[in-house]
Amino acid sequence: MIIVMKNGSTSQDVEKIIEILKEHGLGANLSTGAQATIIGILGDKAKLGDLDLELMDGVEKCVPIMHSYKLASHEMCPDGRTVQVGDQIIGGKKLVMMAGPCAVENEDQINQAAIGVKAAGAAFLRGGAYKPRTSPYSFQGMEEEGLKIMRRAADGVGLKVVSEIVAHDQIETAAKYCDMFQIGARNMQNFRLLREVGRSKVPVLLKRGISSTIEEWLDAAEYIMSEGNYNVVLCERGIRTFETATRNTLDVSAVPVVKERSSLPIIIDPSHAAGKSKSIASLSLAGIAAGADGLIIEVHPNPKVALSDAAQQLTPEAYAALFQKVGMIAGAVGRSI
């Protein structure tokens, strides 16, 4: 349930309500926006007993949240949340661009990628150090050494680092090198991992599961937020359908649906949706036109020799050309890059 405060309510009114909630063993999430000041009640509202919060000073009304996800809901934060990673803000007017190879392979490769995506205008260097692959015989990543290489390359050109972790025991190590954790599609419902990254307070990029509904995706975000980490960004990366023309089917409609139901920023991963580099540009532009807050794209200095996902990685030159097109679409929908 949320408590909507009246226009003109005082900070003392708000503090009094929060104090009463705590006395009844409940938590409170305060959201002060342009539309209204809202207090979200965290916990079982049955603990309030017969207490009528609408009779308290400054209260306009109490509204139940019908979704299973509460903190991630639009009702809890009608103005929408932004996620700050260092000097980068995800969810604001400016789009945030993340780019880099599927996997960290060696120092020269990641350095070239970092230089290329930074020159194009990206703010984050992405790359896999822990690689959960379908086959146990495929390249599994360089693990901590790969993270070290990424950190050096990113620092050298002024980029943030986002990289995937696949198990809760990798959090402490990865936190030394990453500005943002990625939770991949395979781990979207790894609830132990979600809770642990929630406790870490490191910003999280949460990818949608390959066969997951939007409701399940937002419930997964709720796991992270329920542990006190509200720095969650959603990532639509395509879902599995009957169609085989692309690797996955990009659900562009997920962007406006998430914006309607949730307060969280959302970005698009056209690389994993397409599976083919020639389709990445079209899907990128469609995602931005639909209202996405940014893109995460695979970029490799020489995709033909990539150790994983070679077919879906752009060259730095192709990425720079795409970046310019994204800028034109961004301007048309009131955003910037």
- Report pLDDT digits (tens) over 128-167: 998 766 667 666 678 899 999 999 999 999 999 999 999 9
Q: Which segments of the chain belong to CATH 3.20.20.70?
A: 83-332
The dihedral through the CA atoms of 181, 176, 154, 307 has a sign that is negative
Top-confidence residue, 36 or 282: 282
Domain 2-63, what fold? Alpha-Beta Plaits (3.30.70)
Q: Which segments of the chain belong to CATH 3.30.70.1140?
A: 2-63
pLDDT of residue 263: 95
Per the structure block, which two tokens stand in for 178? 């990453």
If you write DSSP's letter for every residue of 29-79 in order, what string do you get?
EEEE-SS-EEEEEES-GGGGTT--GGGSTTEEEEE---SS-STTBTTT-TT
pLDDT of residue 134: 67
**Residues 39-63: pLDDT tens digits?**
988 888 888 888 888 888 888 888 8
Domain 83-332, what fold? TIM Barrel (3.20.20)
Contact assessment for residue 320 and residue 99, using Cβ atoms and an 8 Å cutoff? no
